[in-house]
Amino acid sequence: MKYKVEYQVKGDVRVHRRYYNALNSETAREMFEGSREESLSGSEVIESTVRVYWRNKNREWKEKKNFPTRKIDTVDDIHEG
């Protein structure tokens, strides 16, 4: 399925977009996180602006609701907020 991730970078008012072919929205988000580590390193992505969308049969983009806005890697991250 096709997914779109929209985000903003600190200091830039434009909305940036990346597109992924993935099995599900969680995988698309993980692929975006990989992009952040590689091609977006040095840019500060504003986490609250990251949105994941999927494309339905009618080729319309629908936002994936209730998607975590921050990736939690460890149990300690949960306690840190």
* Greater pLDDT, 13 or 81: 13
Per-residue pLDDT at 73 exceeds 80: no
Comparing 10-14, 20-24, 40-44, the range with the smallest average pLDDT is 40-44
Gap between the Cα atoms of 41 and 70, Å rounded:
17
pLDDT at residue 40, rounded to an integer:
82
The length of the chain, given as a count of residues: 81
pLDDT of residue 69: 52
Work out the average pLDDT over 48-66: 90
